[in-house]
Structure 1
């Protein structure tokens, strides 16, 4: 009788196997969470550092936004073309990195127009968003601007400290979904910091997109003359 019961039990097990354990519950897989954030770089291009940064971003599948100084574009034309070809957003940081705030209208507009013209000749017709140097522009001057503008919500002052560990720590302590991070691709320490930041945040479920993509993902329709600080804040 016992043998018969054992045979019945085995047949039952074979016919109705136990379900596979839930992967997440067993710890065999992590739940994928995606937060979007934008890395931005000012004052380039500078061939040595910018090319190394582009190499690192490509390896990591990360996109960024570059605000370029116009007078540096021609001698680095191939680097700028590579930015666009690899899916990064290219923007205008004036011709000679002047503070627009307080300038007369014709001089300010020429700084922007000249850079815009060079970008269009090199990369084609597009809307090249503006980051005013130092993030400074008053209400009077905003009326002159015909494209969206970009500021930032996370600033580790990498230009000031030029210390990779400090920059990484500052960004990681202040970043949140929708942040726009300010860095400069002209310093080796900033390139090192940027790639470490990408590695760390990708491991936490973040995805790096351009500013234009960040706003679109958050349902924001960018407006000319508006300054975007993060995905949910504008000035």
Structure 2
């Protein structure tokens, strides 16, 4: 559920923040969900007919020499009103919200293939905030930025797990470890040392003091189609500490474990939930309806009955436990009619903004327990018995819609700890009821719906927060039917073998 005026556009609606002063400082300004998406503008593309991609030992993506485009000649910039400051060679970000993001593109008008580098490592040099998500973002199937969703589905890792922590040199003390590390060859030195001490003249220099950190992430840890990537992004900031980016590239090697790098080893890839933006079943369309106001629930039920369609409801647990809302009876009736009821957190916070994993876990666990206790909907979980045996319980409650659509890697990882192969369901069609529902132009919800459907979106988000939006549901349904699409539950549109037959 989104609550009207204080809320922001979906995390994947990206906005370039234009320079406001000669100092090349960037700041937030009012954002509209689509019109200001500068992803749709070419940013000094190097060539209209680029040469075929050839295998290379490395690929430099961004050294932040230019405020508007990266070393590949494509756009880099921010979304969700993220303030930044550019200086030649660095980009400083000032995050205040986990939805905020910074993207640097491989391409925009076409898919970029990372297959020549598939066994290599994403290398990021940065300073400051370590609590964020790094994502590779997949283009849509058409490799067309005018189609929805754009960008497509990302896969993500937690930056702090991949940091190589190096020892700073103290000029007052000898460092035998540093001398020993030279025996392995200067190619093993971390880039932050090479930046500070250029040894191309042949002299060997010890590393200077530096607060810069380095990430080494195997490209294999990003589980997506590496033939059609569109960008690298940094998002999911859950502290307000600034971060400065210095270099983003793909490199063939990782330094060998040694004392000077804290015996760094690549960590294992943790299980994560699968992020969903669209239906996979051909010719399908699904409505994911989040919670709303109880007084409009019966109108929603009546429209769905009369139009003879099935949808998925994402229910907030606190509303189910509140007897005054009558939501338990309403959703119980919806289940009997063949609709799906799925998870939407316990108290509806921006879960990636929560400071601790304990708080994220509590939102997940309380949501799971409430759906089971109040509605009998059981999640696919693994239960450990005292005898040491395990049992997997199958059900339909693998589906979770993150409040506000905010997704970061901590949420994705923690869901996978409690639910077997969870689906994290966002959308490719937004009716924007959170934006227009309580204004003098509520009909713009229809415009938003028609626009996103025309772009190829087939998985919708809406709420029943006011009577106008509830009434528009019939218009939405009939428009989809007029296109010859089949409306169904989210699990059915994703071809889940455990979903009921159509």
TM-score class, shorter: 0.7 to 0.9
Q: How many residues align?
A: 185
- 1:184 aligned onto 2:463: yes
Give the strand-richer structure, 1 or 2.
2
Give the helix-richer structure, 1 or 2.
1
Q: Secondary structure of the equivalent of 2:309?
A: coil
CA change 1:185–1:192 in 2 (3 A) is: same
Q: Secondary structure of the equivalent of 1:144?
A: helix
Q: What corresponds to 1:215 in structure 2?
A: 494
Question: Per chain length, whose mean CA-contact separation is higher, i.e. which structure has more relative contact order (CA < 8 Å, sep 6+)?
Answer: 1
Tell me, yes or no, if the aligned pair for 1:37 and 1:209 is still in contact at 8 Å: yes
Q: Secondary structure of the equivalent of 1:175?
A: helix
CA distance, structure 1, for counterparts of residue 493 and residue 442 of structure 2: 26
Q: Secondary structure of the equivalent of 1:143?
A: helix
Q: What corresponds to 1:202 in structure 2?
A: 481
CA distance, structure 2, for counterparts of residue 89 and residue 63 of structure 1: 8
Tell me, yes or no, if the aligned pair for 2:303 and 2:473 is still in contact at 8 Å: no
CA distance, structure 1, for counterparts of residue 482 and residue 407 of structure 2: 36
Q: What corresponds to 2:403 in structure 1?
A: 133
1:38 is aligned, of 274, 283, 286, to: 286
Q: Secondary structure of the equivalent of 1:169?
A: helix
1:97 is aligned, of 348, 354, 363, to: 348
- Give unmatched runs, 5+ long, in structure 1: 1-33, 223-235
Q: What corresponds to 2:374 in structure 1?
A: 122
- 1:68 aligned onto 2:315: yes
Moved over 4 A (4+): none
TM-score (normalizing by structure 1): 0.72
1:142 is aligned, of 388, 402, 412, to: 412
CA distance, structure 2, for counterparts of residue 165 and residue 142 of structure 1: 35
The structural deviation recorded for 1:164 is: 4.4
CA distance, structure 2, for counterparts of residue 133 and residue 61 of structure 1: 28
Tell me, yes or no, if the aligned pair for 2:357 and 2:410 is still in contact at 8 Å: no
Q: Output the aligned Cα RMSD.
A: 2.1
CA distance, structure 2, for counterparts of residue 152 and residue 100 of structure 1: 18
Q: Secondary structure of the equivalent of 2:430?
A: coil
- Give unmatched runs, 5+ long, in structure 2: 1-281, 379-394
Tell me, yes or no, if the aligned pair for 1:83 and 1:89 is still in contact at 8 Å: yes
TM-score (normalizing by structure 2): 0.35
